[in-house]
Structure 1
Amino acid sequence: MADGEDIQPLICDNGTGMVKMTKLAIIPFTIVLETIFLNKKFSQTIKASLMVLLLGVGIASVTDLQLNLLRSIMAMLTIAATCVGQILTNQIQRRLKVSSTQLLYQSSPYQSAVLLVTGPFVDKLLTKRDVFAFSYTTQVVAFILLSCSIAVCVNFSTFLVIGTTSPVTYQVLGHVKTCLVLSFGYIILKDPFSARNVVGILIAIFGMGLYSYYSVVESRKKTEAASSLPVAAQVILN
Structure 2
Amino acid sequence: MMKFSGTASSKTFIYSKMGEASSSFQLSVVSALFLSVASSVSIVVCNKALMSNLGFPFATTLTSWHLIVTFGALHLAQRLNFFETKSVEMKMVILFGLLNGVSIGLLNLSLGFNSIGFYQMTKLAIIPFTVLLETLFLGKQFSRKIKLSLFILLLGVGIASVTDLQLNFLGSILSILAIITTCVGQILTNTMQKRLNVSSTQLLYQSAPFQAAVLFVSGPLLDQCLTHQNVFAFKYSAIVTGVIVLSCILSVSVNFSTFLVIGKTSPVTYQVLGHLKTCLVLAFGYTLLHDPFTHRNIIGITIAVFGMALYSYFCTHDNKRRQLALDLSSQGREKESSPLLPGKNTGHQDKENHDIKKSAKDSVV
**TM-score in same-fold range (> 0.5):** yes
Q: Which residue of 2 aligns with 1:220?
A: 320
Q: What does residue range 155-174 of structure 1 map to in structure 2 within 5 Å?
A: 155-174=255-274
User: With structure 1 as the length reference, what TM-score do the two structures score?
Assistant: 0.88
> Any gaps of 5 or more consecutive residues in structure 2?
1-99, 343-365
Task: Kindly provide the CA deviation profile for residues 116-174 of structure 1, in whole angstroms up to 9, marking residues without a partner as x.
Answer: 23333433444444444545566555444433333222111100111111111111111
Q: Which residue of 2 aligns with 1:31?
A: 131
| Paired positions, count | 237
Structure 1 counterpart SS, 2:251:
helix
What is the distance in 2 between the residues matched to 1:141 and 1:197? 33
Q: Which has the higher contact order (CA 8 A, sep 6+)?
A: 1
Q: What does residue range 107-122 of structure 1 map to in structure 2 within 5 Å?
A: 107-122=207-222
> Any gaps of 5 or more consecutive residues in structure 1?
none
Identical-residue share of aligned pairs (%): 58
For residue 235 of structure 1, the aligned residue among 326, 329, 335 is: 335
C-alpha displacement of 1:108: 0.8
Q: Which residue of 2 aligns with 1:43?
A: 143
Task: Kindly provide the CA deviation profile for residues 83-119 of structure 1, in whole angstroms up to 9, marking residues without a partner as x.
Answer: 1111111111111222111111111111112222333
For residue 62 of structure 1, the aligned residue among 162, 177, 181 is: 162
Alpha-carbon distance change, 146 to 195 in structure 1, aligned in 2, over 3 angstroms: closer
User: RMSD in angstroms over aligned alpha carbons?
Assistant: 2.4
For residue 53 of structure 1, the aligned residue among 153, 167, 176 is: 153
Using the TM superposition, name which of 186-195 and 138-147 deviates more.
138-147
What is the distance in 1 between the residues matched to 2:281 and 2:274? 11
Structure 2 residue 290 is matched with structure 1 residue 179: no
Q: Which residue of 1 aligns with 2:298?
A: 198
User: With structure 2 as the length reference, what TM-score do the two structures score?
Assistant: 0.59
Alpha-carbon distance change, 150 to 187 in structure 1, aligned in 2, over 3 angstroms: closer
What is the distance in 1 between the residues matched to 2:219 and 2:228? 13
Using the TM superposition, name which of 183-192 and 87-96 deviates more.
183-192
What is the distance in 1 between the residues matched to 2:234 and 2:304? 42
What is the distance in 1 between the residues matched to 2:275 and 2:295? 19
What is the distance in 2 between the residues matched to 1:91 and 1:220? 22
What is the distance in 2 between the residues matched to 1:61 and 1:72? 19
Larger radius of gyration: 2
